[in-house]
Amino acid sequence: MRTRRVLLVSADERCAGLFRGPAASAGSAQDARPLRSLPSGRASRQCPHRLASQMLTADFLARGETVVVLGRSGVPQVPGAAGERGTAVTVIATVEHARHFQPTDPDRLSFVLSPCTPVEPAAEILGVLRTRFPRLRGQHPDQWCYAESDFRAASASVTDASDLLITVGHGPFPAAGAIVPPKRHRHIDGLGDLHPDDLAQAPTLGLVERGPDSAHLTRQILTALSGLGPLSVVQRQYRTRKYDIQHVLRSARTSPTETTGLRPADGRMDEIGAHL
């Protein structure tokens, strides 16, 4: 077939915190202050969700609580995040860890989501902890970041619909089992890695950018493919939006059939964004 289509998932869809500079450590007196008192420009290189998790962690620590960070270690950078029993901050990245975790004081236990962590596995971990520790409290879901979950959903959709999945770039990619297994998969670091035999039986190509370093190679691939015949490029995107529940309820009372005009519930994220 000379005519092909490319289903593209751009790295721009990913959680921005994955590719920004390191976060400041939590727990300082400055981090613990109310958000509106932060000096302008202080967090110019930080993801607002990362900053929110840091500040909330510092808040909980100031109250003398043990903080559980749900997700991969190192994000956010917090003191004592070694995962050992008795530390002030413990990173729990798996359901199995959640089943065996023993805090020093189960009644003084809080949680935050590690930014850049997909919501679905974190929510599964949280479910186990809430069953074991009914007094667990923590971060409001309006502060959760869905960017990486959306990226995974878009990647799964493209993988399922493609005859050949091509990944480029060197950012983290959903682990095995997190997306639909591809019919065929090739990761390429340069245009020379893409062979004619790869394309012969692939009228639909999935192209997933794993990181911001992949944009140039993506352009090279699309240029080469366009020289082989008619080409259609479709960008696949997923968007999760959060809404203010009170606004939704007010709209339902005034007009039961009205479904428009819902207001995003960014809440504290708007305040954080104003400082970036």
- Distance set, CA 136 to CA 4, 13, 68, 79, 142 (Å): 52, 32, 10, 20, 18
pLDDT of residue 275: 47
pLDDT of residue 39: 34
Average pLDDT along the chain: 77
pTM of the model as a whole: 0.75
Q: Given a cut of 90, is residue 267 above it in pLDDT?
A: no
Band (pLDDT 50/70/90 cuts) for residue 77 is low
pLDDT of residue 85: 45
Dihedral sign, Cα of residue 200, residue 204, residue 208, residue 213: positive
pLDDT winner (highest mean) among 72-81, 177-186, 211-220: 211-220
- Please write the tens of the pLDDT for every residue from 98-156: 999 999 899 999 999 987 888 998 999 999 999 999 999 999 888 888 988 999 899 99
Q: Are 207 and 13 in contact (CB under 8 A)?
A: no
Q: Are 6 and 205 in contact (CB under 8 A)?
A: yes
pLDDT of residue 84: 46
Percent of the chain residues past pLDDT 70, beyond the cut: 72
Q: Given a cut of 70, is residue 227 above it in pLDDT?
A: yes
Band (pLDDT 50/70/90 cuts) for residue 198 is confident
pLDDT greater at residue 29 or residue 83: 83
